[in-house]
Structure 1
Amino acid sequence: MTPTALLRRMPAAPPVTTPAEDAPRLWTRDSIAPHRARHLVDLPEGTNAELRDALAHCAANGLTLETVEQEDIRLPSLARAAGRLRLLLDEGPGFFVLRGIDLAGLDDEAVGIVAWGIGNYLGRPVRQGLTKDRRLFTVTDAGSANIDPTRIGASSRESRPHTDNGCLEPRPPCAIGLLCVSDALAGGDSWVVSAATIYNETLRLRPDLAPLLQEGFHFLPPHLHTWPAGPNTIVKPILESVPRDGKADEIRVHYARVMVEPGMTLAGTPLTPMQIEALDLLDSLIQRPDLGFSYRLQPGEFLFVNNLVNLHGRGAYADDAEGAGKRRVLKRLWLWRRHVGPGDDPAALDLAELT
């Protein structure tokens, strides 16, 4: 089976209609509020100096964002904190903001190297395009240059809660990272919400709709995430229950309505009235103010989110109309976990994905 053929694979597991019991994942705005400070993590002392040393090494040897490798960016102070940071993503609510990254005086290339270098300590960066954006993607308003309606990140419009689906790979990113380089004149607050919480709310309000969200849906990949010889759509459930050894099953989510509606139409299976009702309910829940975590990123802050168990989004924003003032710019990473599952081992990857 080829990697692109895996993108067509329909879900094999039957729908689950029992409430999620993974207590650490079942969080809301009010349950997070008393512990909000735990999710705001200061960069370890010494990491900024190590980053500057790494950038000097890159400059002296002509390394760029495309040619730098993990071995070129050594951050022992961050390495000592990596286990704790990974646990913040793998267990519990599954998100944190890493604060205090010094970006002063750095050009765009150097900022990209910093983002990529830090991300390497939390997972393996995954490509975000075949010919461009291979290392990371710049999230900013591209204006009229953005002609792909599925790429909300290249606009200033509201980005409704979604997951990053990584349509070039059989597996989506395990985590995403968003490094704030500069913030908007107004708006653009980030939003994170738990899939397990949303699933239980769906069961509580409309148990008849929950199984529909666990069926296979066709997603239309963004233009830059489409294989030239691959399928026109990729197939995955929106919600699924994944067993974990010794722990409660994990509710995982794959969603972006802007990809699902056109994908289902392109596949010749337009959404049924009941499916539309299920997606409408889902959209209302993932935006409910009492269910999620809101935070406005400041320059030098790096938001990391477990992309398998949470959805993320952001409010609409406004940049300086003159173009010379505030402009929202983020660097986005997609990460696979190295320390959970098959990681980088090609034998383990084939056994996990192709058999």
Structure 2
Amino acid sequence: MSMVLTQPVTGPRAWRGAELGQDGPWLLELTPAEQREIAIALAHAVRTGTPMLHWQEATFPLDGLREKLRAIAHQLRDGLGFTILRGLDISNYSDEEVGMIYWGLGLYLGEPLGQNPKGDLLGHVFDQGRKYGGLDVRGYETSAYLPYHTDSCDFLGLMCLRQGLSGGLSSLVSSVSVHNAILAEHPEYLGLLYNGFYYIRREEALGGKGVSEAPVPVFGQTDGIVSCRYLRNQINAGAVKRGVPLTAMETEALDFLDAQTQREDLRLDFMLRPGDMEFCNNYTVLHSRTEFADGPERSQQRHMLRLWLKFHERWPVSEHFAEHRGYVLTARGTVLAEA
């Protein structure tokens, strides 16, 4: 366990949604010139004949937009920890072309990571008719409300292809501000949260042990930089799978953390529109989504593209707080497992 930080964190990472409002440095707009550059880059990439998963920056060349992408990368690491890039007109592109554009932009920000046991690098988030809460079910396969959580990557990218008929509101909250709130009101919980909890391993849960080998910390800190990893549903399922219930104080600590994520003064709610791109740092930002309903028409069926990305420069985590590495091969080289 890393040493518990006993001083509140200040600076841009400790943001409050009520203070940010619905516009500001977190919301960037693509200009018409930048959209034209994206179209030219896509045409160039297609002409090369290079398979998308083998692209490099030179395959999808961006000169004018490069500076804005650098600003996004800086915001993710050293600023608020999230950005919405708005304004891409996707009406003249096929779904495949939109995916290629998103992939090309993502290459300028980080290294793609596997998102599931199949090793998918460009994910698709839509309702697959599965029931949230099942041992082998992941939230992105459902239409259910997803509580605030982090993903197993340095930073997450979501791009909206289509909105649903109703619902699907996105929400972010600073995990650093949540840490500050716990320190201010219940510092006795931090030791438990830094020590961590056993997690269910969904793809192994229906057979075998299916639980992490050691507790996974909720918080860790290195030189005052707080990192977070949190999936309450997997903690609860891990306790059930092990047959070792959470203690009363552990439950109180997790309930209090969850309550902070719901605070209207801390969280930031927004609706992703078709063409919008969201990026958020999984070490400093928790994300959520409300339940949604699809309509009968394809245009009414919510569909997001997803990237799991690794920072080009290593995020400062302690030896007790593992890096987010997506899905990687096990030592046997036969099974893909969440890192």
In structure 1, which of residues 236, 240, 243 is the aligned counterpart of residue 216 of structure 2?
236
The CA deviation at 1:298 is: 0.4
Change (3 A) 1:190 1:145: closer
Residue 337 of structure 1 is matched in structure 2 by 311
Among candidates 122, 129, 138, match of residue 136 of structure 1: 122
2:251 to 273, 276, 294: 276
Match of 1:29 among 4, 9, 17: 17
**Which whole-Å CA distance do the structure 1 matches of 2:225 and 2:10 have between them?**
7
What is the one-letter code of the residue matched to 1:335? L
Question: How many Å apart are 1:178 and its aligned residue?
Answer: 0.7
| 2:235 counterpart of 1:260 | yes
- 1: distance between equivalents of 2:137 and 2:257? 19
TM superposition shift of 1:219: 1.8
Q: Which runs of 5+ in 1 are unaligned?
A: 1-10, 167-172, 244-248, 343-348, 350-355
Look up the SS of the partner of 1:128 in the other structure: coil
C-alpha RMSD over aligned residues? 2.7
Give the TM-score normalised by structure 2: 0.83
Match of 1:246 in 2: none
C-alpha distance 223-270 of structure 1, shift in aligned 2 (>3 A): same
Structure 2 residue matching 1:77: 3-state secondary structure: coil
Q: Which residue of 2 aligns with 1:8?
A: none
Cα separation, partners in 2 of 1:21 and 1:337, compared to 1, 3 Å: same
* CA–CA separation in structure 2 for the residues paired with 1:23 and 1:150: 37
Does the 8 A contact of 2:163 with 2:300 survive in 1? yes
Q: Does 1:179 align with 2:159?
A: yes
- What is the DSSP-based 3-state SS (H/G/I as helix, E as strand, rest coil) of the residue aligned with 1:266? helix
Kept in 2, the 8 Å contact 1:188–1:316? The answer is: yes
Q: Which consecutive unaligned segments of at least 5 residues does structure 2 have? A: 317-322, 324-339
Instruction: Verify the 8 A CA contact 2:57 2:108 in the aligned structure 1.
Output: no
1:304 to 275, 279, 284: 279
Q: 1:43–1:101: 8 Å Cα contact kept in structure 2?
A: yes
Percent identical among aligned pairs is 31
Check the 8 A contact 1:20/1:251 in 2, yes or no: no
Q: CA deviation at 1:237?
A: 0.5
- Are residues 1:52 and 2:39 paired? yes
Q: 2:203 aligns with which of 223, 235, 259?
A: 223
Cα 1:190/1:39, change in 2 over 3 Å: same
**Which AA in structure 1 matches 2:212?**
T
Does the alignment pair 1:189 with 2:169? yes
Residues 141 and 153 in structure 1, CA contact (< 8 A), matched pair in contact too? yes
Q: Relative to structure 2, which stretch is displaced further, 272-281 or 294-303?
A: 272-281
Deviation at 1:71, TM superposition (A): 3.3
Q: What secondary structure is seen at the aligned counterpart in 2 of 1:196?
A: helix
Residue 91 (structure 1) shift: 2.2
- Structure 1 window deviating more from structure 2 (71-80 vs 177-186): it is 71-80
Q: Secondary structure at the match of 1:333?
A: strand
1:20 to 1, 8, 14: 8
CA gap of 1:60–1:21, structure 2 versus 1, over 3 A, is closer
Question: In structure 1, how many angstroms separate the alpha carbons of the residues matched to 2:178 and 2:244?
Answer: 26
Provide Cα deviations, 1:144-188, integer angstroms capped at 9, x if missing partner.
498655511111111111000x2xxxxxx2211111111121111
Give the corresponding residue for 2:101: 114
Give the 4+ runs in structure 1 shifted more than 6 A.
228-231
Say whether the 8 Å CA contact 1:233–1:267 is kept in structure 2: no
Q: State whether residues 44 and 78 of structure 1, in contact with CA within 8 Å, keep that contact through their aligned partners in structure 2.
A: no
Structure-2 residue corresponding to 1:319: 294
Contact map agreement 1:162 1:311 (CA 8 A) in 2: yes
Distance in 1 separating the partners of 2:174 and 2:269: 12
**Equivalent-residue separation in structure 1 for 2:131 and 2:148 (angstroms):** 23
**Are the structure 2 counterparts of residues 46 and 125 from structure 1 closer, same or farther at C-alpha, using a change threshold of 3 Å?**
farther
SS in 2 for 1:258: helix
Give the counterpart letter for 2:91 in structure 1: A
C-alpha displacement of 1:25? 1.9
* Alignment: residue pair count: 314
Q: Distance in 2 between matches of 1:270 and 1:150?
A: 22
Give the counterpart of 1:209 among 186, 189, 202.
189
Residue 151, structure 1, aligned to residue 151, structure 2: no
